[in-house]
A = this chain, B = another copy of it.
Amino acid sequence: MFRKVLIANRGEIAVRIARALREMEIASVAVYSDVDRASLHVRRCDEAVHIGAAPSRESYLHIERILEAARRTGAEAIHPGYGFLSENADFAAACEAASIVFIGPPSDAIRKMGSKTAARRIAAAAGTPIVPGAEEGLRDAGEAARVARECGYPVMLKAVAGGGGKGMRRVDTPGDLAMAFETASSEAAGAFGDAAVYIEKLIEQPRHIEIQIIGDQHGNMLHLGERECSIQRRHQKVLEECPSALMTHMPELRERMGQAAISAARAAGYYNAGTVEFLVDARGAFYFLEMNTRLQVEHPVTELVTGVDLVRWQIEIAAGGRLPLRQEQVRWNGAAIECRVYAEDPEQGFFPSPGRITHLTEPAGPGVRLDSGVYSGWHVPLEYDPMLAKLAVWAETRNAAAQRAIWALGEYHVGGIETNLRLFPGILRDPAFREGRLHTGFLDEYMARRLAPVITEEAAAVAAQAALAGAAPPAPAIGETRRESGWRRSGRESLLR
């Protein structure tokens, strides 16, 4: 086993990895930029190396400085976390060249899966279903009709050069295709100077479901089931679950998707942890989307339900270890839900809200897991992703997990900056959510239909009283008239220490 590992990341995931290393009695090395000296990940490691200025390209994305930090501290391996260099094949290759173990897949597999079109080709060759269609431009309406027939209606016409909806047309029946093809082509020509359009099968109200796979360097690979990630905003996941409610209706789907994910990963020569993302329609038909060749943000829900410590397994596999379980030994118990806590204001278009955390109360208790990268008094820098923490809960059933998440969110208080914490209880109480009727458009629909919280007269009166209490001049420094006022004074004193 390694004696020392460098963590090429920051925030909650660096803390997560540092904890795993402590648990394994492996020395941990943090790296930090100018604005991260006081960050939690530095405090939770055994060593720390300053690697540059705040902008990521001068620090967390700077391959040479990170390798130099590893060499200087004698780290034998590097865990890249997620984001930053984690899916950078050049970095993985540079580690390999420097004889430092990259805790992840081989650089070659990252490269193969890094190109979306190459990944699609590999997956298709391995027999994993992909969204049917032609990625190249269609010559004419006749070719379009042929491809559409192969895909099955409804289909989408999309501009090859496009984006942002221009040149896109939904076509539900063969009779509408020719007209739609002409319109889409001319729209594309107008918008992008290129009339080329292609066809893709339209997956209506798809779920975004991903499969966690993990393989060792000895040819063993297994899947740890799915994560339901359909609740997204602008392709950014907001709330994830394991299991997906879909699997309760289709118990055989997990294994089919799991095997499809393993096939795709094997075809790329993959090992270590990885995630294969699928679009899934209401009937359980699934289509390969892409592969994330790293640890996923939402890995805790899989850990809570399977009992597997994915980060520990990653490290053990990188050190040459074998998978300790066979596929048939993997068990899924209960239900887990994760909420991503961001420094952003849901009432102001999710505008980022960096700044100083003046007060922090974190939830805990039965079934509550908090992976946090912040602490009270710390300044959330504006240079990086504004994710503060991940609140994950586990319970025996999905409904109990949702209820648990609601009280845990109620105990969570981040003062001084805005967060999206108050977004979640409404989602978790939403009838469509409870019924498991999820798709990638869920959150937009929910945001449009959600109701403002009810404010009772009594709550308003309490707010008024609290405002007066907060606005009152400080209690005198000496002398208590009653216990409560004494508390207030002493509380203030204690915070001055």
* Contacting residues of chain A (349-397) with chain B, CB-CB under 8 angstroms: 356-359, 361-362, 364-372, 375, 377, 379, 395-396
Residues of B within 8 A of A400 (CB): 23, 309, 312
B-facing mask of A10-38, CB < 8 A → 1, else 0? 00000110011011110000000011011
What is the minimal beta-carbon distance from A25 to any residue of chain B, in angstroms?
A: 7
In the bound complex, how far is the Cα of B410 from the Cα of A168, in angstroms? 56
| A403 in contact with B364 given A490-B379, A495-B496 (CB within 8 Å) | no
Query: Across the interface, which residues of B come within 8 angstroms of A494, CB to CB?
Result: 356-359, 377, 416
**A364 and B372 contact, Cβ closer than 8 Å, known pairs A379-B487, A404-B23, A484-B38:** yes
How many copies of this chain does one complex carry? 2
Q: A358-B494, A487-B379 are in contact. Are A364 and B365 (CB under 8 A)?
A: no
Could you say which of B37, B407, B411, B490 contacts A23, with CB atoms under 8 Å apart?
Answer: B407
Contact assessment for A366 and B497 in the assembled complex, using a CB-CB cutoff below 8 Å: no
Q: Which of A23, A334, A362, A490 has the most CB of B within 10 A?
A: A23
Q: Mark A463-497, 1 if CB is under 8 A from B, else 0.
A: 00000000000000000000110010011001111
A108 at interface, CB cutoff 8 A = no
Known A-B contacts A307-B396, A484-B38; A19 and B358 likewise in contact (beta carbons under 8 Å) = no
Judging by beta carbons under 8 Å apart, are B366 and A309 in contact? yes
The reply to whether B407 and A19 contact each other, CB–CB distance below 8 Å, is yes
The answer for the CA separation of A495 and B495 in the assembled complex, in Å, is 6
CB-CB under 8 A from A407, the residues of chain B are 19, 22-23
A265 shortest CB reach to chain B, Å: 23
Give Cα A470 to B170, complex, Å.
67
Name A's interface SS: mixed
Q: Which of A325-353 contact B (CB under 8 A)?
A: 331, 333-334
Interface string of A38-50 (1 = CB under 8 A from B): 1000001000000
Q: How far is the CB of A314 from chain B (nearest CB, A)?
A: 13
- Chain A stretch 281-314: residues in CB contact (< 8 A) with chain B: 300, 303, 307-309, 311-312
CA distance A491 to B377 in the complex (A): 5
The answer to whether A34 touches B483 (Cβ under 8 A) is yes
A367 nearest CB across to chain B (Å): 8
A371 touches B379 (CB 8 A): no
> Are B365 and A490 neighbours in the complex by a CB distance under 8 Å?
no
Which of chain B's residues have a CB closer than 8 A to the CB of A364?
362, 364, 369-372
Please pick, from B370, B375, B395, the residue contacting A365 in the complex, using a CB distance under 8 A.
B370
Contact A369 B371 (CB under 8 A): no
In angstroms, how far is the closest chain B Cβ from the Cβ of A246? 22
A334 to B371, CA, bound (A): 21
Nearest B residue to A334 via CB reads B307
Complex A-B: 18 CB contacts under 8 Å: A16-B366, A23-B395, A23-B400, A34-B483, A37-B484, A38-B484, A309-B366, A309-B396, A356-B491, A356-B494, A362-B362, A364-B369, A367-B369, A368-B369, A377-B487, A377-B495, A379-B490, A415-B497
Report which A residues bind B (CB closer than 8 A).
Answer: 15-16, 19-20, 22-25, 34-35, 37-38, 44, 300, 303, 307-309, 311-312, 331, 333-334, 356-359, 361-362, 364-372, 375, 377, 379, 395-396, 400, 403-404, 406-407, 410-411, 415-416, 483-484, 487, 490-491, 494-497
Q: Beyond the given A16-B366, A415-B497, could you list 10 further A-B residue pairs with CB under 8 A, ordered by the A residue number? A: A20-B366, A23-B400, A34-B483, A35-B483, A37-B483, A307-B333, A308-B396, A359-B494, A364-B370, A496-B496
